[in-house]
């Protein structure tokens, strides 16, 4: 099976680059986008199995990015991450917009890997693609 393709979207470049490198060491094809506009552009250019999306970013926050992703890629799994204090209303808002989960940073790598596996299965099921 091919390696999962994940887009990390976070304005904290050092955090996202470090996380991407840790995922690559676990055979995940991880790309980084530093803002919402770049993320939307990348998602339009190539296919991803999952987007890991920061909630708080300048110009376009994670909720607006999620709305735009849903408009064009309704089956693309999105995991929302927050570096701020966990907020139940924001978690509910994320789920209402179609996020698969809402987690606080830092997320243990094993948790992310599990979520990536779940995302691939969910995306394949929604798209009707056999998945092994």
Label each residue of 10-75 as H, E or C: CCCHHHHHHHHHHHHCCCCEEEEECCHHHHHHHHHHCCCCEEEEECCCCCCCHHHHHHHHHHHCCC
Instruction: Return the pLDDT at 85.
Output: 79
Domains of the chain: 5-127 (3.40.50.2300)
Instruction: Return the pLDDT at 129.
Output: 59
The predicted model scores a pTM of 0.92
Instruction: Return the pLDDT at 130.
Output: 55
**Consecutive 10-residue runs of the chain (132 residues): their mean pLDDT?**
92 94 97 97 96 94 96 95 87 94 94 95 76 48
């Amino acid at each position: 099976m091919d390696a999962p393709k994940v887009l990390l979207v976070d304005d904290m470049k050092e955090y996202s680059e470090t996380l991407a490198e840790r995922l690559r060491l676990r055979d995940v094809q991880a790309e980084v986008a530093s803002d919402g506009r770049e993320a939307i552009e990348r998602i339009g250019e190539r296919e991803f199995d999952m987007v890991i999306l920061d909630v708080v970013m300048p110009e376009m926050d994670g909720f607006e990015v999620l709305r735009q992703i849903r408009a064009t890629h309704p089956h693309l799994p999105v995991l929302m991450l927050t570096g701020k204090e966990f907020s139940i209303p924001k978690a509910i808002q994320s789920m209402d917009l179609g996020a698969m989960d809402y987690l606080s940073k830092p997320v243990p790598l094993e948790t992310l890997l599990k979520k990536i596996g779940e995302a691939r299965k969910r995306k394949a099921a929604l798209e009707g693609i056999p998945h092994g």
